[in-house]
Structure 1
Amino acid sequence: MRAGAARKHKTFKTKHVETPETFMRYRVMVTRVQVAERYIRAADEEDAAQKVREEFDRPYGYFGSWKTTASEVEVVGAEETVIVQQPHPLSPEGPLLLSLKDTGKALGLSYSTVYELVTRGEIEHVTVGARKYISREALAHFIQQNTHRGYHR
């Protein structure tokens, strides 16, 4: 670079969707009939039935092989929901610091690859507590420094 020449940084522009998406949320009641067969040691039929009821009262108490014999699905209600799109991490409204996971998503790399680049010092990072973050400027600088034309060895 020439002396006195200003270094140009590329700015990333992303499309921010202002229109929220509308979906329907349905409340559904499901009735399912299941059958299981099991052998119980008991003095009589009433004692056997009581032992099975006691197992049902315990969380995860009745294990066995269940077979669904019938099921019914009924929609009992519907309501409209709106999902507001969050700004893309690299948009001007996005955060100033990106987690390593979000950086990986933005670059199309895995978390472990980004972690390795940070550990080797190839991407500048900010440490907050025990976590590492990458600024949008450091990300743009990394991309600029590693952008090449043509084939080279």
Structure 2
Amino acid sequence: MLDIWAIRSTDVLIYISVSCVLLNGVSMSFIPQPPSSALVTEPISMRVPDACRFTGISRSTLYLLISRGEIEIVKVGAATLVLTESLRELIERHRARGGKPGSDTYPPHKPI
């Protein structure tokens, strides 16, 4: 049996369809499955640019949320690591209130 599969850097499994011709001339296609030991794992933390991509928010908004204590970070040397669980909790808080403005919305912009 031929197993062909790949893992992207985002830990998403990509299956490659394989076509083969058997000795008797019969053609068949199949999508191999990864070994059962292949687990897709989520990082505990990520750097700021990855956190922005993960949530879809801008870098300045992310730093605003960090300064307000809404997102938890860990400093390791010069690296700022954003905790993945903290990002999930932020999204869940906003999801729970239905995306409507609440007590944790950003301050309104002042006219110039």
TM-score w.r.t. length of structure 2: 0.49
Point out the structure with max Rg over C-alpha.
Answer: 1
TM-score w.r.t. length of structure 1: 0.38
